[in-house]
Amino acid sequence: MSATTDHLAASALSSQARVETPFRRFVSDFFESKVATGACVMLSVIIFIALFAPLISPQNPYDLAVVDVMNARLEPGEQSWSGDLTFVLGSDGAGRDMLSAIFYGLRISLSVGVMSGIIAMIIGMVVGLMAAYFGGRTDTVIMRIVDLQLSFPAILIALVLIAILGKGVDKVIIALVTVQWAYYARTVRGSALVERRKEYIEAATCLALSHRRIVFRHLLPNCLPPMIVVGTLQTAHAISLEATLSFLGLGLPQTEPSLGLLIANGFEYMLSGKYWISFFPGIALLVTIVTINLVGDQLRDVLNPRLER
Amino acid sequence: MKILKHVTTVVAALLLAVAGAASAKNLTIGLASEPTAIDPHFHNLTPNNSLLGHLFNALVLQDENQNLIPGLAVSWRAIDDTTWEFKLRQGVKFHDGSPFTADDVIFTFGRAPDVEGSPSSFGIYTKGKEVVKIDDHTIHIKTERPYPLMPNDVSTIMIISEEKGRGAKTPDYNSGKAAVGTGPFKFVEYVPGDRIVFERNESYWGSKPEWTRVTFKSIKSGPSRVAALLAGDVDIIEQTPTVDIERLKKDPKLSLSQGISNRVIYLHMDQFREESPFVKAKDGGKMKNPLLDARVRRAISKAVHRDAIVDRVMEGIAVKAGQLLPEGFFGRSPKLSPEPYDPAGAKALLAEAGVGDGFKLTIHGPNDRYINDAKIAEAVGQMLTRIGIDTEVVTMPRSVYFKRASRGAEGGQPEFSFILVGWGSGTGEASSPLKSLLHTYDKERGFGPSNRGRHSDPEVDRLIEDALATVNDAKRQDLLAKATELAIGRNQGIIPLHYQVNTWAAKKGIKYRARTDERTVAYGVYTE
């Protein structure tokens, strides 16, 4: 407790004009780590690329009228046969510019990861809060389902679902949500159980507020910090899972490759020395996942009340 | 990759241990696709026919260039217009020691056309033929009309033992119980998904192969197959990936064999529906099927840059096609050559046909059947999109693809509008593809079983049927050539892209005699 007071006093001294708010404190704590700062910058760059891929890519890699098989498997730095485009990172077996394909692939990977993360979080949160708040049989039933689901490897469930549902972005998102909601449900239940015993919930109950109001207006906001951490890490997990599915040929269509499919397409060229077709998408995937994980780790450290500094 | 290598090494080591200290010559072959059964009449499919030629013989065999050579029959001739006489080989024994006689042939021709659950039956080769026993080593086969292709058809039917085959179902062959033939190898073991093991038939009637024990392993993924060869887990592989060939050629530890195949890769278009399910107007609305118009089909042919496909997709390892069979095969037309690349001409033809603004089209293709099949489909998609036909590319595994392509729509009709497929001539001449792909679909008479575009032209039908009944070779050649010129040159019933060229890679010291029928057989492997 005294450490906090010291800290407060110190920051109050250093900038008299600024008022210490929880958010400011969070921001300053977060950027204390150089690694996390770097990761944050990198993540912003990746998000920027994903958002503005159509504007910054040299080519639309999904437009079959532009992609020309005459430019297939060019090495990094080579010119297209018509001379109007330089393939900075080379081209793949269909003549697609790798740089553009990676930009568009990031867009797909990130959107699939974030979309499935958000949907799974909402489902997991509602279910987990219900389990914690109502307890008893509701809790038992929900948590046994969660246990059952967590006892299967995520990739196995996803593979089975894709096999049943078929290919497509929407199907991949459904599969990822199905595998991930249980993590959120378990996390939110844990912190909600602690919060539920606190006085403010008791007070709210005495005021005869509706269950819904207590759960969503009082309980939920106090359970959010761990959810943000799990959400970040699970998003990275979802991206790598989507890449795995695509690598196995179960994700997205051939003509609109995500990072996983790009790696899979390049895999068959590995033995013939055409490394760039799977190497660069692999690097892009690696950097994305590591960056998100670093940010997630730092968030966990900063938001963890037990790790007071 | 590394883990995979380790796993295959361990498996290979175990296999060696199981095989014991046999000093004999062993051969391990890496197959690209696994046969679907050990039953020689279950599925008319190249991997099956290739494998089962080890255990069984037909009356007439095909050499590596698909020339007919004596098998279980020593000679054959047409004794009148509608009767063929086959003299059977004397002294041939089945693997169980029982003698081979005319009764086995009659039994085989009775069983071959109706095997329970057969996905692709041998009926097309036995229909309309009546087999009569004259004595133990002479048979007559009678037809209603003159039938010059009899020896070719007979070469596709492998002879089984009547004694073992009576009442035997496909599982009895898979277990080895009924897998008793007269071939150069005997059945040892069949583990689906893992391996098939044969040993040499020491009392084979023909020239004995070099190898005493042959193990077939199916390794579906191209890079894994190459890795298994480089690691020494297999001695020879088929369907060497085109991307690796240049590098493997330079490897001093390997030797490659290459040869053109009888397989043409082509596009087939919906020519029977007024509204085709995968053709849409540019705005996504319905439109009259433009593929019904031969001008549109010719425009597509002109828009396809065959040189680009051969050079860039196939790495130069293919030969561009303008008809059904490559040079050197019987029944080719000397007049047809591959349609030159002409996008401007293609657009002009589209405009002439009233679809100058283009339309939307989906090309469907397999992704694990032909060499680089998915990439070819994507390249065709690019080329058509550039002349204004917005093309979506959908590829799928062959297990799903062929079912839907042949009879996925209502009433067992073909489902797709525009497909990429291939056809290898089982008989080694042009009547096989003409009959199957371009003759009007007629289930009863066995015509057009693979005519998935339902191309139909009475003039072509007549020419094909006349050819099938013409005994004079020169006349038949002319009729087949004329039929091809009309069906492809005039009607654009199918659009040929290229002929496949196959590459086998083996470790140094052993060689393979490349075969036009794409089969990978142990008796074609020899030490240098």
Domains in chain A with CATH codes: 37-307 (1.10.3720.10)
Question: Which residues in chain A touch residue B223, judged by CB atoms under 8 angstroms apart?
Answer: 267-268, 270-271
**Chain A contact present for B386, CB below 8 A:** yes
pLDDT per residue over A56-103, tens digit each? 999 999 888 889 999 998 999 999 888 888 999 999 988 999 999 999
ipTM for this prediction: 0.75
Integer Cα distance of B165 and B229 in angstroms:
37
Question: Which residues in chain B touch residue A67, judged by CB atoms under 8 angstroms apart?
Answer: 382
Out of B243, B385, B395, closest to residue A268 by CB: B243
Out of A73, A94, A253, closest to residue B379 by CB: A94
Out of B243, B379, B395, closest to residue A69 by CB: B379
- Listed by number, the residues of chain A in 231-260 with a beta carbon closer than 8 Å to a beta carbon of chain B are 249, 253-255
Nearest CA-CA partner of B524 in B13, B53, B37, B6: B53
- Listed by number, the residues of chain B in 261-280 with a beta carbon closer than 8 Å to a beta carbon of chain A are none
Residue of B nearest to A63 (CA): B382
Distances (CA, A) of A305 to A219, B58, B372, B498: 17, 81, 57, 68
* Cβ neighbourhood burial of B353 (10 Å; 0-12, 13-18, 19+): middle
Integer Cα distance of B392 and B382 in angstroms:
9
Nearest CA-CA partner of B45 in B121, B108, B96: B121
- Across the range A13-24, mean pLDDT stands at 67
Out of B244, B375, B378, closest to residue A271 by CB: B244
> Quick one: pLDDT at residue B1?
47
Asked if residue A79 lies in contact with residue A91, where contact means CB atoms within 8 angstroms, the answer is no
**Chain B contact present for A69, CB below 8 A:** yes
Q: How far is A269 from chain B (nearest CA, A)?
A: 7
Phi, psi of B416 (to 5 degrees): -90, 165
**Chain A contact present for B308, CB below 8 A:** yes
Q: Kindly give the confidence (pLDDT) of every residue in chain B, 528 residues in length, as a single tens digit, with 9 standing for 90 and above.
A: 455 555 555 555 555 444 443 457 999 999 998 999 999 999 988 999 999 999 999 999 999 999 999 999 999 999 999 999 999 999 999 999 999 999 999 999 999 998 988 888 888 888 889 999 999 999 999 999 999 999 999 999 999 999 999 999 999 999 999 999 999 999 999 999 999 999 999 999 999 999 999 999 999 889 999 999 999 999 999 999 999 999 999 999 999 999 999 999 999 999 999 999 999 999 999 999 999 999 999 999 999 999 999 999 999 999 999 999 999 899 999 999 999 999 999 999 999 999 999 999 999 999 888 999 999 999 999 999 999 999 999 988 888 899 899 988 988 899 999 999 999 988 889 999 999 999 999 988 888 989 999 999 999 999 999 999 998 999 999 999 999 999 999 999 999 999 999 999 999 999 999 999 999 999 999 998
Out of A64, A65, A69, closest to residue B313 by CB: A69
**Chain B contact present for A76, CB below 8 A:** no
All domains of chain B, ordered by start, with CATH? 28-218 (3.40.190.10), 260-501 (3.10.105.10)
Which residue of A80, A81, A254, A276 to mutate against B (max B Cβ within 10 Å)? A254
Which residue of B242, B243, B244 to mutate against A (max A Cβ within 10 Å)? B243
Question: Which residues in chain B touch residue A273, judged by CB atoms under 8 angstroms apart?
Answer: 247
Which residue of A78, A92, A255 to mutate against B (max B Cβ within 10 Å)? A255
Q: How far is B249 from chain A (nearest CA, A)?
A: 11
Nearest CA-CA partner of B403 in B33, B120, B47: B120
Integer Cα distance of A248 and B34 in angstroms:
20
CB contact under 8 A, A70 and B391: no
